[in-house]
Structure 1
Amino acid sequence: MRLSFRLPAAAILVAGFVVPATAQDLRRRPDDPIPAQLETLYERGLSYLAKSQNDEGSWNDQMGSEPGVVGLCTIAFLAHGEDPNYGPYAKNIKKAVEFILSRQRESNGYIGSSMYNHGFATLALAEAYGAVDDPKIAPALKKAVELILNAQSRNASGGWRYTPESRDADTTVSGCQLVALLGARNAGVPVPDEAIKKGLAYMARCRGGDGAYGYTSAGGGKPTLTAIGVTCLALAKEKEGKGFTNSLGYLRDNLNYRDRHYPYYFEYYMSQALFHADEAAWNEWNSKNLRYLSTLQRPDGSWPGNKGESFNTAGALLSLALNYRYLPIYEK
């Protein structure tokens, strides 16, 4: 796999849902203490993203102009409980949302140049809906969801790949679209149950007997891909059955795994998968992840890597965001 938001692409998957503003509660709960080290890392990371954002709402590094990356940065702000209308980062959030909206095609609702971009951008719109005061978000989110559903209807596998016209599928792109659909549904956009079932069925066909997920088949399973599969099942409330149990066991056996090629992609997904499936395993992994990321953060608040500082920083922050649990996605 190659991690890129341009074609061909591999994937990262980050998830977060939003509900209408009347039900959204961004207050920090007193019974969820946040370690000082974590808060320092997160605040420094957000400060970096805010200062390095350009006037059009994107970032100038390697992948920072891709709508999917802008979407991840948007979610990173919201996941910290930042007020998107009046808070210190409100302008940053609104500029990022405007950038995503500007990249949506009027003809069919497609955002960006790949289904990765489209999926992550759709997810960001679902997060922003009901929280950001912008009447353009609702119709844009609806059109984005319709494109995902139409793409699936043309794909015999029931999954998704690089473009809306793709006839094959893989677990990374399919996982991305599934989470976007679930996020949109949680925001109030109608999503047929059958679409979720078909997507999950494709993912299941890529799961080996040991619970590990492969890229396009059940062979060659990896922890990163398995974290995607476990997260999709958990968010869809499909945590019963031998398949889920085997996959969770596989992740437990790989708590010390680090993806050398796509670290921030793996870390966030692993964090979410364990959080929803095994609290003890997540606590152990979360402590290690906090220490690991604290050794890598640069003095300016960014994280290093070959995918660009905006992507790296958003991914690192989102791997820590489960500690805050401001967004409904973090509720079990």
Structure 2
Amino acid sequence: MSGLRISLLLAWVGGLATLDAQVIPRRPNDPIPAQLESMYERGLTYLVRSQNAEGSWNDSMGGEPAVVGLCLKAFLAHGDDPNHGPYAETIGRCIDYILSNQKDRNGYIGNSMYNHGFATLALAEAYGMVDNPKIAPALQQAVDLILSAQERNPAGAWRYSPESRDADTTVSGCQLVALFGARNAGLGVPEESIRKGLAFLSRCRGEDGSYGYTSAGGGKPTLTAIGVLCLSLAKEEGGKAFDKSVDYLGENLDYRDQHYPYYFEYYMSQALFQSSDDLWNQWNDKNLRYLAVLQRTDGSWPGDKGEAFSTAGALLSLALNYRYLPIYEK
């Protein structure tokens, strides 16, 4: 490992020592409920067994770098040794697949900014944890593309392609979280880029605190969770507008997105974990019961976007209980 990566890894390990001091309580001698651990391990086992030799999955969206990135994050979030642990081979294949889908010319991963953003975040989480010298230059290229796409965008944000001239909250939120992940990993991310991205999101926030897709109208819990998470990661919590958004999420703890349920699970868990201990505890209990009913006997979760996406999304919505990933710390 390079000196930089060793330093980052030591900082990450050192950060784990402070977790017991966080506000959210842990059960003495039993920090993770047995049911959750069983569900999580069964989900990972499904992903291991169903991964193909190239490192992706053979379902409807399992070949998308974004989905492979989410699966990679699900393994890293469990806290096993990514280089020698039980999932090291699967993790290595995920990384190789993401790298194989990056264009040498400009660092673009996949064929959409959704793919690029989630894959970039996955590389950022793997950097300093996985012993692979190819990650660092690939991550830098991926971050550079996010920044250059923003510079060309009149809205100061992002949409479907690096050349997009408009923006929406889902793609923009994805790129912002990837930038936060890269910054946590030690890469230089201009503060101006964060400010511009957050400014776009704020223009999509309605008076009731909810976030819309491309404007302040038509707010939805999924989009609001993205907005709250981005502000929280930027340490911009507080203020009436932020509080209204958190209250809006609190009023929708029983909401389930009909079209992208696991996408909602993924963002809602992170947003509440970062913004409200009380709401996250309520949500976490509900979410654990909800996902326990849906998990299949083979360990997967069902969904029309493919089992790899559904299973990774479900697992990552539970992964806040482990708090191993830097992006999952407070």
- Whether these two folds match at TM > 0.5 is yes
Q: Structure 2: how far apart are the matches of 1:286 and 1:86?
A: 31
Structure 1 residues 31 and 177: alpha-carbon distance in aligned structure 2, compared to 1, 3 A threshold: farther
- In structure 2, the partner of 1:132 is 130
Distance in 1 separating the partners of 2:30 and 2:245: 28
SS in 2 for 1:24: helix
TM-score w.r.t. length of structure 1: 0.92
Structure 1 segment 81-100 matched on structure 2, within 5 A: 81-100=79-98
Task: Choose which of 214, 225, 228 in structure 2 pairs with 1:227.
Answer: 225
Map residues 1-332 of structure 1 onto 2, 5 A cutoff: 20-25=8-13, 33-332=31-330
SS at match of 2:282: helix
* Bigger shift: residues 263-272 or 72-81: 263-272
| Counterpart Cα distance in 2 of 1:237 and 1:227 | 15
* Rounded Cα–Cα distance in structure 2 between residues aligned with 1:208 and 1:324: 33
Residue 74 of structure 1: how far off its partner (Å): 0.2
Superposed displacement of residue 47, structure 1 = 0.2
Task: Give 1:32 deviation, angstroms.
Answer: 6.6
Deviations along 1:20-51, one digit per CA (max 9) or x if unpaired, are 22223379976671111100100000000011
Unmatched 5+ stretches in structure 1: 1-18
- Give the aligned residue type for 1:134: N
User: Cα–Cα, structure 1 residues 207 and 31, in superposed 2: closer, same or farther, change >3 Å?
Assistant: farther
**One-letter amino acid matched to 1:23:** A
**Greater length-normalized contact order (CA 8 Å, ≥ 6 residues apart):** 1
Partner SS state of residue 122, structure 2: helix
| Per-residue deviation, 1:331 | 1.9
Provide the TM-score with structure 2 as the length reference.
0.93
In 2, the alpha carbon distance for the partners of 1:79 and 1:254 equals 26
Q: Distance in 2 between matches of 1:167 and 1:174?
A: 12
State the one-letter code of the partner of 1:167.
R
Bigger shift: residues 293-302 or 256-265: 256-265
Tell me, in whole angstroms, the C-alpha distance in 2 between the residues paired with 1:118 and 1:160: 11
Distance 1:284 1:107, change over 3 A: same
Identity of aligned residues (%): 73
Q: Which residue of 1 aligns with 2:23?
A: none
1:231-272 Cα offsets, whole Å, 9 max, x none, are 000011110222211101111111111111111111121111
Distance in 1, Cα, partners of 2:217 & 2:164: 22
Residue by residue over 1:153-180, the C-alpha shift from the partner in whole angstroms, topping out at 9 and shown as x without a partner, is: 0001011000000000000000000000
Q: Structure 1, residues 282-320: CA drift from partner, whole Å, max 9, x if none?
A: 111110100000000000000001000000000000000
- In 2, Cα distance between the equivalents of 1:59 and 1:234? 32
User: Which one has the bigger helix percentage?
Assistant: 2
User: Which residue identity is paired with 2:129?
Assistant: A
Q: Which runs of 5+ in 2 are unaligned?
A: 1-6, 21-27
Tell me what 1:5 maps to. Answer: none
Tell me if the contact between 2:65 and 2:115 (Cα under 8 Å) persists in the aligned partners: yes
Structure 2 letter corresponding to 1:311: F
Matched residue count: 315
Cα deviation digits, residues 194-227 of structure 1 (max 9, x gap): 0000000000000000000000000000011000
Aligned to 1:9: none
- State the 4+ residue runs in structure 1 displaced beyond 4 angstroms: 26-32
Paired residues of 2:108 and 2:145 also in contact (CA < 8 A): yes
RMSD: 1.5
